[in-house]
Amino acid sequence: MTFQYVESGSFESLTSENHKPNSPPDPNYNCIAWAAGCNDSYWWPYPYELVPYFWPLGPQEDDGLAQFIECFTSLGFEVCEDPSFVEGYTKLAIYIGEDGYPTHMARQLPNERSWTSKLGEYEDIVHSDLSALECTLYGKVGCILQKCIA
């Protein structure tokens, strides 16, 4: 079986050892929504109301890292330094490109202690660590967020 994200050749750090596909391709939600736990909407900050895209804080003049931190802070998250698993916490990672702008988000899975990511319109995957998705397309991890769920 072939997977679209593999065929795309866009994720050069993924290996058969550091990830596994989790669900079929679905263009109806993206990585930001998936990080927030949603699989029925497409989240991205945009300067004006643009159906069918959603941003919890409404239209945004910019789609920079500050807008993402502000958004997820409003959802109960706080910035932290360490992506390591901590019992009772959900952690999110924001990847940023060379221009410093967010490109992708991943969510830590509490039980497996690995991460889950929706890859654009492709499949979502489970990956063992954050470096597995550091690539030309997504850049590197630029911010870690955490939220107490205990």
Partner 1 sequence: MQTLEKLALTDQFLDERDLDLSAADNYAELTDSPVGGEYDDRLYLFNKRRLETAYKRSHTLTRLDYYPENGEDRELEIRFSRLYSQWKAETAGISSIQKVVLNPHYLKIIGMGKPAIPFILNALAQKPDHWFVALSALTDDNPTAPGDNLIEAVSKWLNWGISKGYLKL
Of 12-20, 43-51, 72-80, 140-148, which segment contacts partner 1 by CB under 8 A? Answer: 43-51
Q: How far is the CB of 28 from partner 1 (least distance, A)?
A: 5
Binding partner 1 by CB under 8 A: which of 14, 120, 127, 141?
120
- Residue 53 lies near partner 1 (rule: CB under 8 A): yes
- Residue 137 lies near partner 1 (rule: CB under 8 A): yes
Residue placing its CB nearer to partner 1 in the complex, 58 or 88: 58
Instruction: Give residue 138's region: left, alpha or beta (phi > 0; psi -120 to 50).
Output: alpha
C-alpha radius of gyration, the chain, whole number: 15
Start-end of H helices in the chain: 4-8, 31-35, 65-74
Question: What is the rounded CA–CA span in Å between residue 46 and residue 74?
Answer: 17
Question: What is the rounded CA–CA span in Å between residue 138 and residue 140?
Answer: 6
Which residues here bind partner 1, judged by CB under 8 A?
4-5, 8, 10-11, 27-28, 30-32, 40-42, 44, 46, 49-54, 63, 101-104, 119-122, 137
